[in-house]
Amino acid sequence: MKKYVIVLLIIMLAFVIWISTSERRAVGQAKREPIKIGLLAEKTGGLAAYGYSHEKVMVAAVEKVNKEGGIAGRPIELYVEDTESKPSVGALKFRKLVETNGASFVFDSNHSGICIACAPIAKELQTPYFPCGSATEISGDKGNRYVFQSATNVREECKAAAKFAIEKIGKKWMTVVVDFAWGWANESDFKTYITESGGTVLGAIRVPLGTGDWLPYLKGKIPKEAEAIYFACYGSDFLSFIRDLHAVRPDIKKLGAVYAFSAQDPKQLGAPAEGAYCITSYPTRLEGLNTKFNKAYRDLIKVDGDGKEIGTGKYFVLAYDWAVWQPFFALKAAIEKSGWKGRADTPKVIKTLEGMVFKESLEFPQGDMHIRAEDHFTITGLYIEQIQKGEIKVVARIPAKDATYPPAIDHTKEPL
């Protein structure tokens, strides 16, 4: 009988050791299993310059984290898909990232139409999505609890710029925007805040994206009493716009929406752009935000003090690259704080991100920011730049408190 008890105890002890070893092995395996992240990038089409820079910044962020041991001891695997700058393609690529590649989190698109198209898919697939398109609706009625707008948005930008626009530029305005979601949001929000600040918007013009000849849209459409134009266009559209506006109204003052000067060589723009202002969430040149963190960030993404890519000498798209870099590190912090292990823990990550505060650092070089719990909107400060003698200069810094507006929706009431 005694021998039987001893044998039984040995068996039980062996079983406990086996269970314990298996659990440790499982935990170790879970720690080493990669966290899969997807990136939607406009690598071709109208926003190709943005997709190129956003992919480069995300790759740099992933490399930094992996060299430092990953997130919670797990390496990051990055999957990148080209949206072709088309909402229908972007929506399909979002599904591919999640359903085929197994991404647990998806970042980017800079195209607001794509962001809006992907938002309901993020909810359907229960996958947190961090787009950096700036249409106000992304953190409004077109968003949901799975969507975190990682950049400043049009409403914040227009509110931030309105007082400066009235005091420093003019009181009587026209708006000229590209004809899609981002442009419409600029048209609407700029009018709201200029009117609230004591100015007037005399009229609005919409121009199809990719238009080479803007003269038919501008000639005879701008009243003589208009002192200034607020424009929302970028890339080749921006070049066509300033050329043709200069031919029609060389005297009129100009304020551009947040993308306007991105990837442009100000020395090559000449008289049509001289004196133009632009809202930005991140200064083109290092001197506009000359901090040790911003310098280190630029070194990591290989961009020099003038905003040029090291190695190519081309102007880099910097406007929202911080909005690819920073949400990645916000997610890292939320994963580690919440104890996320896999998809079953996604609600924990979302609840952790809601209201989370971040201080200026290498991970957050743009400055202090927080994610507003109700609408998942990024709250941070902005800048006004101006082209002066062929150089882009910061002429005003606007604190977050002067740009913040009340949330229009409360996503925290939505079930997870």
The residue whose two tokens read 């890339």 is: 235
- Matching fold, domains 33-152+319-380 and 155-280+381-402: yes
For 71, 86, 217, 259, 326, the CA distances from 333, given in Å and listed in that order, are 9, 32, 48, 29, 11
Q: Domain 155-280+381-402 carries which CATH code?
A: 3.40.50.2300
Average the pLDDT over each of 6-15, 157-166, 305-314 and give the range with the smallest value.
6-15
Give the pLDDT score at 262: 86
| Domain extent listing, the chain | 33-152+319-380, 155-280+381-402
- Assign 77 a pLDDT band (cuts: 50, 70, 90): very high
**125 has pLDDT over 80:** yes
Instruction: Identify the residue with better confidence: 64 or 318.
Output: 64
Parallel/antiparallel/unpaired status of strands 172-178 and 228-232: parallel
- Assign 30 a pLDDT band (cuts: 50, 70, 90): very low
Q: CB burial class (10 A; 0-12, 13-18, 19+) of residue 22?
A: exposed
> What is the helix (H) or strand (E) element at residue 240, kind and residue range?
helix 235-248
Give the pLDDT score at 189: 95
**95 has pLDDT over 90:** yes
Give the pLDDT score at 47: 86
Rounded to whole angstroms, the Cα distance separating 152 from 323 reads 8
What's the whole-number average pLDDT of the chain?
A: 92
Rounded to whole angstroms, the Cα distance separating 366 from 263 reads 18
Share of the chain above pLDDT 70, in %: 93
What is the fold, at CATH topology level, of the domain defined by 33-152+319-380?
Rossmann fold (3.40.50)
Give the pLDDT score at 234: 86
Stretch 264-290: mean pLDDT, rounded? 94
Give the pLDDT score at 27: 44
**1 has pLDDT over 70:** no
The residue whose two tokens read 């630029």 is: 298
Give the pLDDT score at 29: 43
